[in-house]
Structure 1
Amino acid sequence: MTHPVRRHRAPEAGATYVFAVCRGTRAVNTADVAGLAGLPGGAAVRLLPSGTLTAVVQTVPAADFTDEVWQSRLSDRQEIERYARAHHEVVSAAAVHGSAVPLPLATLYHDDDRARRALDDEAHRFHGVLKRIAHHAEWGVKVYEPECPAAEEERDPVPVGSGGRAAPAPGAGLAYLNRKRGIQERREKRREQALSVAESVDAELRSLAAVSRRLRTHGAVPGVDGRVHVLNATYLVAEERAAELAALVWALGERTGTRIELTGPWVPYSFVGEV
Structure 2
Amino acid sequence: MTTAPADPATTVRQDGPRSTVTCVFAVTDTPVPDHVLARTPGHDGGGPLRLLSAGTLHLVVQDAPAAAFSEEALAERLNRPDELERCALAHHRGVEAAAGAGPVVPLPMATLYLDDRNAVRAVTAREASLRALLDRLRDRTEWAVKVHGPTTAQASGAGSGGAGDVPADGRSYLRRASARRGAEREIRERALARAHAVDRELRRYAVAATRHRPQSEQLTGRNVPQLLNAAYLVDDGRRAEFVRAVGRLAREALGSAVHVTMSGPWVPYSFARQDEVECGAHGEIRA
List aligned pairs for 1:12-91, cutoff 5 A: 13-23=19-29, 26-91=30-95
**Does structure 1 residue 233 correspond to structure 2 residue 230?**
yes
**What are the superposed Cα offsets for residues 31-67 of structure 1, whole Å, 9 maximum, x if unpaired?**
2211221011111110001210010000101222222
1:212 maps to which of 209, 212, 218: 209
CA contact (8 A) 1:49 1:55 kept: yes
* Structure-2 residue corresponding to 1:270: 270
TM-score of the two chains, using structure 2 as the length reference: 0.82
* Structure-2 residue corresponding to 1:187: 184
Distance 1:222 1:28 in 2: 35
1:150 deviates by 5.8
CA contact (8 A) 1:7 1:67 kept: no
List aligned pairs for 1:80-229, cutoff 5 A: 80-149=84-153, 152=156, 172-221=169-218, 224-229=221-226
1:117 deviates by 0.2
In structure 2, the CA distance between the partners of 1:7 and 1:123, relative to structure 1 (3 Å rule), is closer
In structure 2, the CA distance between the partners of 1:152 and 1:188, relative to structure 1 (3 Å rule), is closer
Distance 2:155 2:249 in 1: 28
Distance 1:138 1:113 in 2: 32
CA contact (8 A) 1:32 1:93 kept: yes
In structure 2, the CA distance between the partners of 1:171 and 1:78, relative to structure 1 (3 Å rule), is same
Bigger relative CO (Cα 8 Å, ≥ 6 apart): 2
In structure 2, the CA distance between the partners of 1:263 and 1:176, relative to structure 1 (3 Å rule), is same
* Structure-2 residue corresponding to 1:260: 260
1:124 deviates by 0.8
1:222 deviates by 7.4
CA contact (8 A) 2:31 2:58 kept: no
1:7 deviates by 6.0
Q: Quick one: which amino acid aligns to residue 96 of structure 2?
A: S
In structure 2, the CA distance between the partners of 1:35 and 1:151, relative to structure 1 (3 Å rule), is closer
Distance 1:254 1:198 in 2: 13
Q: Quick one: which amino acid aligns to residue 202 of structure 1?
A: D
Q: How many residues align?
A: 257
SS in 2 for 1:83: helix
In structure 2, the CA distance between the partners of 1:60 and 1:247, relative to structure 1 (3 Å rule), is same
- Could you list the runs of 5+ residues in structure 1 that have no partner in the other structure? 157-168
